[in-house]
Amino acid sequence: MADSAPLNSVAPAITRSEGVTAAEKYLAKLCKHSFLSMWSYPGVFRDQKAAAGGKGDGKELCDLLVVFENHVIIFSDKDCRFDDTGDLQVAWARWFKKAIQNSAKQVWGAERWIRQFPNRFFLDRRCTIPFPINLPNPAKMIVHRIVVAHDASRACKQQLGGSGSLMIDSGLVGEAHLNMPFTIGQIDPAKGYVHVFDDTTLDIVMSTLDTITDFTVYLTKKEQFLTGNKIVMAAGEEELLAIYLRKLNRAGEHDFVIPGGYDCLSFPEGFWDEFVRSPERQAQIESDRISYSWDRGKGHWR
């Protein structure tokens, strides 16, 4: 925990950014009203211009940065309208490039900067207020990359029905995404797995997982599951979450425990709805109810 403790000489004076654009305000709200609040800062900047001998403000590093124990979570949030008034595949390809590919590039760039220059990013555009949380040891750092992509959920629901969550296919890689509307796989495996949450699934994940530990463990287990030897397909993020929460590994932890030597796994719609109605989910909600009043007072995502 020492690695992630706020610096006492700096933290009390810090004012987190509330954001300027709709996407920035969305992540600022996420930071303020969720279990991420103690470890996250929206609107982080790098002093790249000054380092190069230039003048002017710093460049945005990412939209939200979370540091917890050995985990670093990098968020990029793009609010790009999905223009579904014409050809669907053309509209998807254009939206995917703007909302997901460009965001993934920002996340990968932020990761490179953080690893190379761990003391050179700031909370203000003028780069005068240092980031107030110590980064974990580089040898132990676990980076999670998250893209929050808006508006496709609306179009997906109109076209396909259901919850509107983007479908998942771990066998879909790189430019192949452009030909598969509303489906997310691995943006670029060589640069690290990128989670893509949409308007539907981010709220589901944040309201179901109760602590930052739950969140980081889920991200870790999901990354391992979707980058293994199997091809995994799911009707949406919530279906994967339901499988994860209903299974336990030998250590008694939630995990993607799937028996059999399958090369391909498919999880259609229905797992999430079944989980929501299940006795174990109702028991979990009831056991958490005592802490709800405290959570609301502290800004829990409920």
pLDDT (tens digit per residue) in 183-210: 999 999 999 999 999 988 988 998 899 8
Mean pLDDT (the chain) is: 85
DSSP assignment of 144-196: EEEEEE-SHHHHHHHHH-TT-PPEEEEEEEGGGGGGSTTEEEES-GGG--EEE
- Token duo for residue 148: 């929050």
Residue found under tokens 């397909």: 233
Q: Is pLDDT of 294 > 50? A: no
Beta-bridge mates of residue 196: 147
Distance CA 298, CA 280 (A): 26
The candidate with the shortest Cα–Cα distance to 65, out of 31, 33, 104, is: 31
Long-range contacts of 25-28, Cβ-Cβ distance < 8 Å, separation of 24 or more: 26/77, 26/79, 26/148, 26/150, 27/63, 27/64, 27/75, 27/77, 27/148, 28/64
State the pLDDT at residue 288.
Answer: 62
What are the residues whose beta carbons fall under 8 Å from the beta carbon of 47, sequence distance 6 or more? Answer: 58, 120, 121, 122, 127
Q: Is pLDDT of 2 > 70? A: no
Are 104 and 124 a contacting pair, CB within 8 Å? no
pLDDT (tens digit per residue) in 245-257: 999 999 999 999 9
State the pLDDT at residue 6.
Answer: 41
Q: Is pLDDT of 8 > 80? A: no
pLDDT (tens digit per residue) in 60-99: 999 999 999 999 999 999 888 999 888 999 999 999 999 9
- Crossing angle of helices 237-246/212-226, nearest 10°? 110
- Token duo for residue 228: 């293994």
DSSP assignment of 45-90: EE-HHHHTT--SPPEEEEEEEEEETTEEEEEEEE------SS-HHH
Locate the domains of the chain by residue range. 2-229
Three-state helix/strand/coil letters over 85-119? CCCHHHHHHHHHHHHHHHHHHHHHHHHHHHHHCCC
Q: Is pLDDT of 13 > 90? A: no
Helix (H, G, I), strand (E, B) or coil at 259: coil
The DSSP call for residue 132 is -
State the pLDDT at residue 284.
Answer: 73
